[in-house]
Amino acid sequence: MGMVASSQELLNQEPNPSQFFPQGVPRAVRRIGLTMALLSGVVSLTTGYLLVFRYHQLFGDAISRAIVGMYMTWDGHFHLAAMGFYWSPLLSLFSVPFALARHWWPPLMTYGFSANILSALFAAVGVYHLYRILWRFGLSQWASVVWTSLYLLNPLILLYSANGMSDAIECAILLAMVDGLVEYLQTDRLGALVRSATWLAAAFMVRYESVPIGACLGIALVLSIWIRTKNWYRAEAIGLALLFPIVMAGIIWMLLGAMIMHNPFYFLNSRYSNGAQISTGSYNFPQVLAARHHLGVTLYQVFRFMDNFWAYAPAAVTVAVLQFRRRTDSIGISLLAASFGAPLLQIVLLYSHRSADWQRFFIYYIPFGFLLFAYVIWKLPIRWRSWFAWMGCFALVASNYAALEAMKSPVWGNGDTSVYQAVFDSQRGSLKDNANYMTLEQGEVEAHYINAHPHLVVLISTFDSPLVMPFIRRPGQIIFSGEPSYDSILENPLGRANAILTVPNSPHSLGADTSINRMYPGLWAGHVSWTKLIHQWKNGDRLYAVLKDAP
């Protein structure tokens, strides 16, 4: 009898073995997976440390996300509104504990190193789940170890598992989501489906690519279950179970946007959105302009970015063929569909000129390439599986090498070439030439000025002066754009702020887009009568005093 003697025994009971698939992952597999995860975390964190402190490679978005955690706790109280509502919130929320700990080790915020730590943590999560999936796909223990290692050692994955950006974190979360889904489809364990759905919702709270990925995945899953079981209600129910959390996460995110920013689509259409930024012309790279409203070029570019992991293409084609030639398999069709999500989004964005073509936007070819490749091997006869798993390693190594080559290319390694050069190129300039590092240094200088003048209460736009705040000693001296009263004070600063920090306001630059320059376009140039220049820094940043005739 599948019955237990007491509730205590139930607690100790391992799940019943399924007829076809083991229900739970055996402890030995979990142990190896966790070891791999630990190693990945260490490797990623070490890489991150070297990037930040040796090579001074700082990434603006990573620092910004980390600093948002600081904004939310700026005056010692928690302010959700200071999150800004343009970044997906999860990483900013995770940064809050680091922000609170910044007094013990300032680089957590000043260098945004908390973001690097988060990257490394999630790298471990991703590797752990990849290992479990490979085990579920029937790869041997050692083949799984090698495959997992090759995943982490993919140059793009390693870089983004270390640099504090959200892209590899998203990959890790998607791997966790797939792990749950594969387990559910193999064993019918409801807990696995819930886990998968929760990870998918978490993916939304990290990056918006999860929306098309989730949509493609959901549609494919529902259709495949419907075709397989001829039971529409069942397919519908499982689809709902998978997608409900991400849909609700989206709705809540929009509700919060509506309540706090008075715009439910703030993350899409605010002046900080991708679309708004690209409209300033700052990201008008030749290939972006070429793709604009040209479907052929757009498709070519999206296809070419498969250089990140060229094994994706043959694996995807093979999986597609398997679905048509054999009985439709929910796992295969779902993986395949999910892998289309991010590229489809990029096709739309590039074609409509709402996004730049950063290499990292195409990082998803890597995890999904690994998964599809492993899936193909799983579908082979058992006697061939091991041989192909080991032979497949060559393809993985070759793909990783191709990714490295792509990274070197200014076109296909857009956004990452500079990092490669900084680390590997002997012809590189000063390590401190990294723009973000320079901004950081500048921020420190400006903060020191404010610190030295304790009577100043300065209005700061965090969009263009984010790196000033980590060095500020007295939070009360700063009123930043994430505060609820910021807009009101900006309009009527008299008696509430006595200085305004502004950046050069030149057309077609990001500086034109700050809240201060939008409100007072002539301020930087000294054309606002109720202000007086106090200080100017060599990068052009200026600090104006608010005079008594100010509004």
> Which residues sit at the interface with another protein, rule CB under 8 A?
1-8, 10-11, 13, 15-16, 77-78, 80, 189-191, 193-194, 231, 233-234, 236-238, 240-241, 244-245, 248, 252, 255, 259
Minimum CB separation of residue 190 from another protein in Å reads 5
Q: Which is nearer to another protein, 8 or 426 (CB)?
A: 8
Distance CA 268, CA 203 (A): 17
Closest CA to 334 of 452, 114, 184, 484: 184
Q: Which is nearer to another protein, 171 or 217 (CB)?
A: 217
Closest CA to 546 of 525, 532, 527: 532
Residue pair 214/350 in contact (Cβ under 8 Å)? The answer is no
Q: Which is nearer to another protein, 258 or 397 (CB)?
A: 258
Distance CA 314, CA 372 (A): 9
Residue pair 129/30 in contact (Cβ under 8 Å)? The answer is no
Q: Where are the beta strands (DSSP E) in 86-219?
A: none
Q: What is the dihedral of CA 378, 380, 385, 388, to 10 degrees?
A: -100
Distance CA 139, CA 146 (A): 10
Minimum CB separation of residue 7 from another protein in Å reads 5
Minimum CB separation of residue 135 from another protein in Å reads 19
Closest CA to 250 of 304, 204, 203: 204
Q: Which is nearer to another protein, 105 or 244 (CB)?
A: 244
Minimum CB separation of residue 235 from another protein in Å reads 8
Beta bridge partners of 544: 500, 533
Instruction: Supply 436's token pair.
Output: 């973000």
SS3 538: coil
Q: Which is nearer to another protein, 4 or 525 (CB)?
A: 4
Minimum CB separation of residue 207 from another protein in Å reads 21
Closest CA to 90 of 158, 172, 32: 172
Closest CA to 408 of 441, 374, 454, 359: 359
SS3 480: strand
Distance CA 529, CA 526 (A): 8
Beta bridge partners of 545: 499, 532
Q: Which is nearer to another protein, 249 or 478 (CB)?
A: 249
Distance CA 248, CA 448 (A): 44
Task: Using the CB atoms, write b or e for 156-176: b if 16+ within 10 Å.
Answer: bbbbbbbbbbbbbbbbbbbbb
Minimum CB separation of residue 73 from another protein in Å reads 12
104 contact partners, CB below 8 Å, separation of at least 6: none
Query: What are the residue ranges of helices labelled H in 101-140?
Result: 107-110, 113-136
Q: Which is nearer to another protein, 229 or 269 (CB)?
A: 229
Q: Which is nearer to another protein, 244 or 387 (CB)?
A: 244
146 contact partners, CB below 8 Å, separation of at least 6: 390, 393
Q: Which is nearer to another protein, 243 or 377 (CB)?
A: 243
Angle at the Cα of 527 from the Cα atoms of 523 and 531, rounded to 5 degrees: 65
Minimum CB separation of residue 21 from another protein in Å reads 15
Specify the residue for token string 């606002």.
Answer: 528
Q: Which is nearer to another protein, 77 or 327 (CB)?
A: 77
Q: Which is nearer to another protein, 108 or 193 (CB)?
A: 193
Q: Which is nearer to another protein, 476 or 484 (CB)?
A: 484
Minimum CB separation of residue 231 from another protein in Å reads 7
Distance CA 314, CA 317 (A): 5
CA distance to 219, 328, 346, per residue, from 231 (Å): 15, 15, 34
Q: Which is nearer to another protein, 30 or 234 (CB)?
A: 234
Minimum CB separation of residue 66 from another protein in Å reads 21
